[in-house]
Structure 1
Amino acid sequence: MTDLSFQSALTLSEKLADGTVSASDVMQSTLNRIDAVNGTVNAIVSLRDSDALMAEARSADKTARKGWLHGIPIAIKDLANAKGFPTSMGSPLFAGQMAQADDVMVARLRDAGAIVIGKTNTPEFGLGSHTFNPVFGATRNPYGPGQTAGGSSGGAAVALATGMLCVADGSDMMGSLRNPAAWNNVYGMRPTFGLVPSEPQGDTFLHQNATNGPMARTPKDLAALLDTMAGPDPRQPHGIALSQTLPAIDGDVTGLRVGWLGDWGGAIPLEDGIDELSQTALRQMSDMGCVVDALNPPFSPDAIWDSWTTLRAFNVSMGLRALYEDETKRQRLKPSAQWEIEKGLALSATEIHDASAVRSGWFKSASHLFDKYDVIVAPSAQVWPFDVALEYPKTVAGQTMDTYHRWMEIVIAPSLLGLPVVNVPVGFGGPNDLPMGLQLIGRRGSDAMLLRLAQNWHLATDWPNARRPRLEITV
């Protein structure tokens, strides 16, 4: 049988539709690839029994197509519920707990015909851009198994990079769709907040920091998956509806105005080589017809950081408060989770209001910035992938990190405003010759435009296929 591991999702969809391949062929190829490489990288967890998966694929071959994902295997990030699979969230408190229903986003993927085969690994409760937890262990970078895969969508990014999946879901509060995509040489997108719904549970008005989104090896697959995930849920506020992005992805980007934000005027430390690689990518964007300018810092980075950490702690503490208030369960939470919760519980209403007021001021400044530029660009990470045994980098370019997540400060400016961001892979570097990416940041609702720029970038570079991981095959 032909190896289908690195086919794009849209290509597989076309082949399944015209009968060139069957869902059984795709499933067998997927399972073979998982058997071969997952033992090295530990990206897919809670894998369903292979006989049951093959039976579901054979059933898909006999039924009418439900949608473009019909017969295509997918694994769901282990923060989301997929009926019939455990949702551990990387925590011993929930290990083995079976989901009784699909989350909104998962139901939409199944409705389009996807076959859920398992889950993808994540840090405990998704906290931290390094995928390790006490339930399943660490996910390793396929380009250097001694290094981290990033996070929190680390399992998803590695599954894509290694050909175990052709598309994957993820979620992003503080870079969780961008950092692992950058470190695994694939594409990841944080959509405009409200475009892809979360769950109609608990408070649905106050917390606007995190969103679900797509990951893929091509921007077209990214757009197709986003279009499937997107659309308001009438049970939740803040939902928005935009035109489909896949039909708008082809087109010229000549004259597109690109502003290089970089290290925010030296305020955000970067490891050696990241700026140089980014500058090379910017020259390539100029060659594509974009007009690239360097930006002066548009807002106080300290104010953004203080606003973000306040609102993030408020969000996290409210989500995990019940676990923290149970003293027995509290002791089983990792220290960074306990710290985040305690910080959030100590906040006053005035502090939360003031943080939101700063966010409002940054939004106003950003709106003026986007009057001049179509896209703002910055690195997707401040450091190269670090040792997998390290919890997080304690210093970056000689500067001490004062929190467990300060080393990802570069991603928070668009997150705070709910702006769309696409990570594009830009090559390799650093002491271990590992991948890096750039954030393409747009104004709210500009998701299709960002994907069009990403598609032009992909046609010019195609990094995911230009340099695939070379793993020792375990089977």
Structure 2
Amino acid sequence: MSETTPSAREILQDLSAGRRTAVALMTETLARIDAINPGVNAIVALRDREELLAEAAAADRSTTRGPLHGLPMAIKDLANVAGVRSTQGSPLLADFVPQQDDLMVARLRAAGALIIGKTNTPEFGLGSHTYNPVYGATANPYDRSRSCGGSSGGAAAALATGMVALADGSDMMGSLRNPAGWCNVYGFRPSWGRVPGEPRGDLFLHPLSTNGPMARNPEDLALLLDVMSGPDPRQPLAATAGAGHRVSPLPEVRPMRIGWLADWGGAYPMEPGVLETCETALKVLSTLGHQVETLAPPFAAGQIWQSWTTLRSFAVAAGLRVFAGQMQQLKDSAQWELERGLALTGQEIQAASDLRSDWQRVVAQLFSQYDALVLPTAQCWPFDIALEYPQEIGGIALDSYHRWMEVVTPVSLVGVPCLAAPAGIGPTGLPMGLQIFAAHGRDRDLLALGQQYHCATRWPERRPTPTPSTTAAR
């Protein structure tokens, strides 16, 4: 169906001008959640209605107004929100209610956002399929028998169905790129360091994951990214990130030279129709005056995978080691990552970092020739919601729970900015996305390119029909 919900920017302009009240917006938001959420299970830990309406009324009375003033938002359930159950999808944290907001949440709240609850995520964010034993599965809004992706799957599904206008995501291994592609919305993985993580624990060894914005158009991504960005003096590697470098408003776009990496010369197995859908989307960029060229693989895919899986297990184990004595209460993929990470030697980690550094030097050379590079957001279409993960693609057996997401690792490994943009609806009626990535620090130019593409395609306006259902939770 056609888009009926205004953009976040339009909603905020109406609130600022007095054409709409925060109470009216909150009432509409809660009514839409009541109607739609039972069928997709995207929003969890929804707060008390009367409390939310009281906060909206207070926002209407307030004379202090930030850039997100009065906008309802639900926070991905990997982040702590003061006073709200924050489970990370794990029974081990099912009753955990933090007393303090995480840094990113505090920034959203200070900007005037009204936190209504959480968005669903896989247990500890592992695996790009949003299901967990606390809240169940989140369904794809375009086919509720299919996965919405993950780990920011609840956020993507909530955006696609119009339950929220902006959402936060986080991304280590495609966690906001894959669900954006599968739910026909936008996600943005910023240059590493632009959005600081939490100022706790290790601050130096694990630059793999980052928070980022999700929305239904890149202008809204830019709006939220400016709120999320900025230095934090407690984090040396993010001490100046984003300082004085707002991305909004977006600039005019000059013609760009863009490289299409497709399936990395056959290294990444793809289901039928994925590449064809992406290549059709790339033709839009050509019609907009950009030069699109198909590239040969610039680096050995196996070396990227070797480096990635080592450094990922190293990082995941660092986060999960507190649960080492409760290993059997973790899901299989969490146990696998924890056992692997704890068994790594220092020299194995160094070898992985050496490969990562080699790839970074190649990336620098590529971006001296190309303004942006492109890959699909996933190697397969949204799979059966009852599956844990795909076991094969195109007859090729997969050897881990995350091998079907290998296509995202070239970006994740070097921390460059990456826009997940809708590529269109495939032959079976399911969405697919493009990863469009650029050199470190070129976040603003990338978002501007995305907005130009969005104005030419308007894919998120082809919204799923919101038919209430109860098939999503399990």
Category of TM-score, reference length = shorter chain = over 0.9
**Is contact 2:37–2:468 with CA below 8 Å preserved after alignment?**
no
**Is contact 2:418–2:435 with CA below 8 Å preserved after alignment?**
yes
Mark the runs of 5 or more structure 2 residues left unpaired by the alignment.
none
Q: Does 1:159 align with 2:158?
A: yes
DSSP 3-state at the match of 1:289:
coil
DSSP 3-state at the match of 1:368:
helix
DSSP 3-state at the match of 1:98:
coil
Q: Does 1:441 align with 2:437?
A: yes
The 3 A distance-change label for structure 1 pair 96 and 7 is: farther
Matched ranges for 1:352-431 at <5 A: 352-430=349-427
**Is contact 2:253–2:445 with CA below 8 Å preserved after alignment?**
no
C-alpha deviations, 1:257-293, integer Å up to 9, x for none? 1000111011111110011111111111100010111
Q: Which has the higher contact order (CA 8 A, sep 6+)?
A: 2
Q: CA offset at residue 471 of structure 1?
A: 2.4
**Is contact 2:89–2:122 with CA below 8 Å preserved after alignment?**
yes
Number of paired residues? 465
Distance 1:404 1:116 in 2: 33
**Is contact 1:131–1:151 with CA below 8 Å preserved after alignment?**
yes
**Is contact 2:418–2:436 with CA below 8 Å preserved after alignment?**
yes
Q: Does 1:251 align with 2:252?
A: yes
DSSP 3-state at the match of 1:309:
helix
* Counterpart in the other structure of 1:54: 53
Distance 1:5 1:459 in 2: 16
Matched ranges for 1:31-430 at <5 A: 31-239=30-238, 240-241=241-242, 243-247=245-249, 249-253=250-254, 255-324=255-324, 326=325, 329-430=326-427
**Is contact 2:195–2:242 with CA below 8 Å preserved after alignment?**
no
Query: With structure 1 as the length reference, what TM-score do the two structures score?
Result: 0.96
Query: With structure 2 as the length reference, what TM-score do the two structures score?
Result: 0.97
Q: Which amino acid aligns with 2:375?
A: A
**Is contact 1:187–1:219 with CA below 8 Å preserved after alignment?**
yes
**Is contact 2:251–2:445 with CA below 8 Å preserved after alignment?**
no
Distance 1:390 1:235 in 2: 41
**Is contact 1:377–1:439 with CA below 8 Å preserved after alignment?**
yes
**Is contact 1:45–1:118 with CA below 8 Å preserved after alignment?**
yes
C-alpha deviations, 1:284-321, integer Å up to 9, x for none? 11000101111111111000000000000000111101
Q: CA offset at residue 66 of structure 1?
A: 2.5
* Counterpart in the other structure of 2:20: 21
DSSP 3-state at the match of 1:452:
helix
Distance 1:86 1:14 in 2: 31
User: Aligned-residue CA RMSD in angstroms?
Assistant: 1.2
Q: Percent identity?
A: 55
Distance 1:96 1:29 in 2: 29
DSSP 3-state at the match of 2:413:
helix
Q: CA offset at residue 426 of structure 1?
A: 1.4
DSSP 3-state at the match of 2:292:
strand
User: Bigger CA drift: 119-128 or 432-441?
Assistant: 432-441
Distance 2:54 2:318 in 1: 42
Q: Which amino acid aligns with 1:436?
A: M
**Is contact 2:67–2:112 with CA below 8 Å preserved after alignment?**
yes
Q: CA offset at residue 474 of structure 1?
A: 5.7
**Is contact 1:36–1:474 with CA below 8 Å preserved after alignment?**
no
**Is contact 1:192–1:419 with CA below 8 Å preserved after alignment?**
yes
Q: CA offset at residue 210 of structure 1?
A: 0.4
The partner residue of 2:450 within 450, 454, 474 is 454
Q: Does 1:470 align with 2:465?
A: yes
DSSP 3-state at the match of 1:238:
helix
Q: CA offset at residue 250 of structure 1?
A: 3.8
Q: Which amino acid aligns with 2:189?
A: R
Distance 1:182 1:237 in 2: 33
DSSP 3-state at the match of 2:246:
coil
Distance 2:63 2:358 in 1: 52
Mark the runs of 5 or more structure 1 residues left unpaired by the alignment.
none
